[in-house]
Amino acid sequence: MPKVLFLPHKIILPQGGEFNANKGETILEIALKNNIKLEHACEQSCACSTCHCIIRKGFLSLSGWSEKEDDILDKAWGLEPESRLSCQAIIGNDDIEVEIPLYTVNYARDS
């Protein structure tokens, strides 16, 4: 059973946390079922960038990404080469480490 390690985030998860995952779940699903309040403004429909996360370990074990995800990620704050939308990145066989960016761009909240 793969594990997902969320690195500490000073507001959302100050201590960080490691959780069991089932292959086929998304990173966002793992976060929400463990009460990590990761933003997800479009309710997981790949239309916002609020669920952006950076994969520090295990990037290549995740599912592939679509052109649409790529387009949405371009709007994310703090984009890095190993960024993913947590609602689109499906867990494979390997453990992963996830960094939750300090900020999000949430057009619904910020307008």
Residue ranges in contact with ligand FES by CB under 6 A: 40-42, 44, 46-48, 50-51, 72, 85, 87
Shortest separation between residue 26's beta carbon and ligand FES, angstroms? 9
Q: Which is nearer to ligand FES, 72 or 96 (CB)?
A: 72
Structure tokens at 56: 């520090």
> How many helices, marked H, and strands, marked E, lie in the chain?
3, 5
Q: Are 7 and 98 in contact (CB under 8 A)?
A: yes
Q: Which is nearer to ligand FES, 21 or 69 (CB)?
A: 69
Compute the half-sphere exposure of residue 58: CA atoms within 13 Å on the CB side of its CA. Answer: 21
Shortest separation between residue 23's beta carbon and ligand FES, angstroms? 20
Q: Which is nearer to ligand FES, 5 or 42 (CB)?
A: 42
β-strand 52-57 against 3-6: which pairing, if any?
unpaired
